[in-house]
Structure 1
Amino acid sequence: MPWTLVRLELGPTEEFPQGSAARAFCLRIPIDIDGRIEADLHANAPLHATARCFWPNRPDLTGYVVRKRDGWQMKWRNPSAATSADCWFDNAIFAENAMLKIHGIARSATPFLVKTIRRGQQL
């Protein structure tokens, strides 16, 4: 079953006008030819849909990408008081250099750049 590794880097914000490669998420998710998460493949192996968060001055987070009614959530296994709560995104299209919004990091949706996509990762 082909899965995809996706790296998301912080996009332009008021604090980081050029974005920040040091603030990133790495997702392992099944993506169809149109760049959307394949819900059926995800449902067949939900524990293979993983997420990692890298943020300076915070411990790295690991967890899973789980289905929500209207999108997807990054559910962390090791949250702490110093980290943000679980994050989520709508039914986004993943394409290199596209921007998507992640909720739960700040008061408003935070832009992230789809930096790299590596398709064909076997389970």
Structure 2
Amino acid sequence: MKQILVVDDSATMRRMVMASLQKLKDVTFNEASNGLEAIERLVLAPVNLMILDLNMPDMHGLEVLQFVRSHQAYSHIPIIVLTTKGDETSRAEALQAGASRYLTKPFEPKTFAAQALELLN
């Protein structure tokens, strides 16, 4: 069973992400409402894919991304940044920091699910 960690300060957005991915086989979900909670979840259970918002309280998504990429135990985890920030600077920063994909909200569920499935395999 593969584990997807959905990190977003919006409970509604976390539910939308999980609903979009519910048809993926052999997948379970874990949630975090901020960056610090995301790091805690990484320590507590293995993660096969992270869906990460950028604009969150306590710890910005880029900081989470940098933390994950700087620790050998987590650096292999694919990360989809899913954010409202559609500007090229934000995209370039996230990809340079190690994001596997950069997608903007609102998102197309089928395209999003295809991206997630590709990274899980």
Tell me, yes or no, whether TM beats 0.5.
Answer: no
Q: TM-score, normalised by structure 2?
A: 0.30
Between structures 1 and 2, the one with greater helix share: 2
Higher strand share: 1
